[in-house]
Each structure stands twice: as C-alpha cells, then as structure tokens.
Amino acid sequence: MATRILIAGGGYVGLYTALRLQRRLRRGEAEVTVVNPENYMVYRPLLPEVASGTLEPRHAVVPLRAVLRGSRFIAGRLTGIDAERKVASVAPTAGPWLDLDYDELVIGLGATSKLVPVPGLAEAGIGFNSLAEAAHLRDHVLRQLEIASATTDTELRKRALTFVFVGGGYTGVEAIAELQDMAIDVLEGYPELDASEMRWVLVEAMDRILTTVSRELADRAMTELTGRGIDIRLGTQLESVEEGELRLSDGSKFFSDTLVWVAGTRPQSIVGELGLPVDGRGRLVVDQAMRVEGHPGIWAAGDCAAVPDREAGGVSPPTAQHAVRQAEQLGDNLVATMRGEWPRPFKYRSRGEFVTLGKNKAVGEAFGREFDGALAWTLRRAYYATQIPTWNRTIRVLGDWLVGMPFGHDVVDFGSREEPRGAFEEAAGRSAVGG
C-alpha cells in the first residue's frame, strides 16, 4: 500500500518538500497531498519589489497546481490533528470539514505578523507579510501623494507625507527602501510636491538594523538609508497610535496615516493548538532530522519549527535560504524513512546575503566578498530569478525587470481593487433612488 504523505502548508516548506518527493519517489510508492488556503506559494524575497511596482504581483507567486502535478492539492486550512489515529482535520474553502488519514505528516505553516499590545496598532497598522499587503502598501503610498498634492491644509499635507515603518529587519529595511525610492521617482508627476516634504522613519528596538547579517553589511545599509534622508531611530519603540498620532519611546510624537508593522513574526496560532511540543516562541520542537519530538511520523520545518543549526549552533534563522534547504532535506528524510534508512540531520551554511535598497541600489556579501550599489543589486536579482521554481516564473520575473529598467515607476493607484463592487453598489444605489 502506498504511503500517505500529508503536507500542511504551501509555502517554502510545503512546495519544496513536495517537489523533492516528486523527483525522488518511485511510481506508486506514496500518495502526496498538499493543503494550503491559497493555490499559490508567495516568493517572499520579491515582496518589496511588488510593493514598489517593479514586479507584477502575479509573477511573484508559484501556482501550486501547475508545479505539483504529481500531488493532490486541497484548498483549505489545517484545523487539528489526532496524532494517535493519524488523522488531520482540514477546513476547505467551502463545504464540510475533511478528515484526512496520513502515515507521514509535514507541518510547514509558516508565520504571521507578531503584534504587541500597542494601543491603536491593530486599527492603524499595515502588515507586510503577504502579496495582498505588499500590493496594498504601494497603492496606499501613491494615494497619500495624491492627498498631499490636492490639499491646501498644511497639517494634512504633512501627515500624508509622513511614512513610518516599525522593524529594522530584512523586511522593514527592504520595504522602506523600495517604497521611498519609488515615491521619489514618481514625484515628477506631482509638481505640487517636493522630495524634502516627505518624511520616512524607520523605528527599531535594537541598537542596530539587520541583526541577522554581519555588522559591516548592516552599517553599509544604514549609511545608504540615512544618506537618502531616512530617519532611523535605534533603541526606540512605538508606544501608541491614537487618532493618527504616533508616540515613540524616545519622546517624539507626530501624525501619520502610514504605519507599517514589520517588527517580527510568530508561528500561526494553530501550531500551538495541535497538542505538539512547542518552545518559548511557539515553534514546534524538532530534532536535527526535523522530526517533531515524541511524535514519530510528524515532521516540521520553516518558520513554525525550531530546527537545530549544526553549523552555527542554536536554531536556524527564519530565512528563505534555510527554509528551502530544510524542505529539500526533509523530502530526502521522508524517502529514507519509507525505505527503512536513517534520516540525515539538517545542516546548511549560508551562501551569502543581499539586501535591496531600491533601483540599482543594494548591499550584499557572498563567498567572503562584500558588494554594494548596482553590482549587488544585479547579483541579488540574478540569484532570486534563478531560484524561483520553474523556468516559466524565471522568465516572467526577468521580463518584468528588463522591461522596467529603462523606465520609471508607474504613477497608478489601484486602490479601487480593494472594493471591487464599489462602483456597482453606487450605481445600484442611484438606480434605486432614481427608480
């Protein structure tokens, strides 16, 4: 009888584990089922460029059904497991819940934004953890430029042109850099505005930005950002957001309608409800082979698991590089286990890091060398374009970048897509009044 492998999550872990199994399994050896709410995987390193408009949103995703033709796909969410009976409960997009039997279960549910109890944050903040949020943020920034260019109210103008990002990790640095670069580039279309009127603030609680990279690389990035006028507040926290007024722990306060929260992530809440062991940060406790402690037949990797790092010690960092390699090793370990062999421990040494800071601007280090400027920017793009699954996606991404290089950013706000029925409902209302 074929081994039943259930993969919960369609991100890096889910996609790359399934791809590895497709390549390694013999015909009829196993039945692989992937469960994910969306039928696509978001290639997260490209989200900053989706936000700045240099990349079409559809090209930053991988369609799961198209690449996992050897697997069954179910659009739904994992809601619970019975580890003794080896049954997983899944809530599909529509219809009754499903009970799926499994022999091997892979949990790769990723992470979500980590919020702290800051008054007003839940109501005013904008996340940056999904394709929809990245696209929304671009539209939002352009909408603020439109507001500022049209108003004669000095305070409203100042408020609209103040953009605050909380969190100085990869996501925060790349997001603020790309969006500021875009905003300055499109100002030619706003003769009423001047770049000096815009205020970009990056708030970081630690004493440095980019804590997961070398100090030298972080300092290079900080020099570039501050040189462009971005106000970086180190050792500072957001204390409250009340009616648009932001208060920081350093005593400063100002009004802004743009508060982007990128101050870390946490595992999905369902991870802690499965009855499996978790650490102090809510991540599943796994051994070096990525088996969940005390539960044979259950595996976990990625942001929702505390995967031991044999190279650096401690736990593997939550990076795309590590998640992909964990998934590939996990796939190999599943095959080895099915064939009566010993699974191998995960180990991986990072090949380098790159941080995009806008068009033709980046910093990076790889193979013992440091890079910056246009060279680092080009190397980063080349790396990610070749790493995204399928040549179809690689060509689409490269096409977007090559076509966009000679031109500036489009001054187009698609904010209306957030309320696609707005015009129809307005027409219906007028018809009712007129009828």
For 302-333, the pLDDT digits (tens) are: 999 999 987 767 899 888 889 999 999 999 99
348: CB partners within 8 A, 6+ apart = 309, 311, 316, 321, 322, 325, 326
346 three-state secondary structure: coil
- pLDDT band with cut points at 50, 70 and 90 for residue 226: very high
Q: b/e map of 381-392 (b: 16 or more CB within 10 Å)?
A: bebbbeebbeee
Structure tokens at 150: 């049209």
DSSP strand pairing (104-107 vs 125-126): unpaired
Which amino acid makes up residue 381? R
Domain with CATH 3.50.50.60 in the chain: 3-44+60-113+266-339, 121-262
For residue range 177-193, list pLDDT tens digits in order.
999 999 999 998 999 99
The pLDDT value given to residue 331: 98
Mean pLDDT of 51-71: 89
Q: What is the pLDDT of residue 383?
A: 84
Confidence of residue 359 (pLDDT cuts 50, 70, 90): confident
Pairwise pLDDT comparison (51 vs 428), residue with the higher score = 51
- 51 vs 53: CA distance, rounded Å: 5
Mean pLDDT value of segment 96-116: 94
Average the pLDDT over each of 274-278, 337-341, 368-372 and give the range with the smallest value: 368-372
DSSP-derived pairing of the beta strands 111-113 and 265-267:
antiparallel
- What average pLDDT score do residues 39-59 get? 89
pLDDT at 27: 92
Computed over every residue of the chain, the mean pLDDT equals 90
Closest Cα partner for 203 from 223, 228, 231, 241?
231
- CATH entry 3.50.50.60 includes domain 3-44+60-113+266-339: yes
Instruction: Note the pLDDT of residue 84.
Output: 95
Domain 121-262 has CATH 3.50.50.60: yes
pLDDT at residue 421, as a whole number:
58
- Which of 124-138, 236-250, 384-398 is least confident? 384-398
Residue 410 has pLDDT above 60, yes or no: no
Per the model's pLDDT, the better-predicted residue between 124 and 398 turns out to be: 124
* Percent of residues, the chain, with pLDDT higher than 70: 92
For the residues 5-13, what does the mean pLDDT come to?
A: 97
The mean pLDDT of 34-42, rounded to a whole number, is 95
Residue 433 has pLDDT above 80, yes or no: no
DSSP run (H or E) holding 260: strand 258-261
Which residues are within 8 A (CB) of 284 and not within 5 positions of it... i.e. 6 or more apart? 107, 267, 271, 276, 277, 278, 292, 300, 304, 305, 306
Entry pTM? 0.89
**298 vs 319: CA distance, rounded Å:** 22
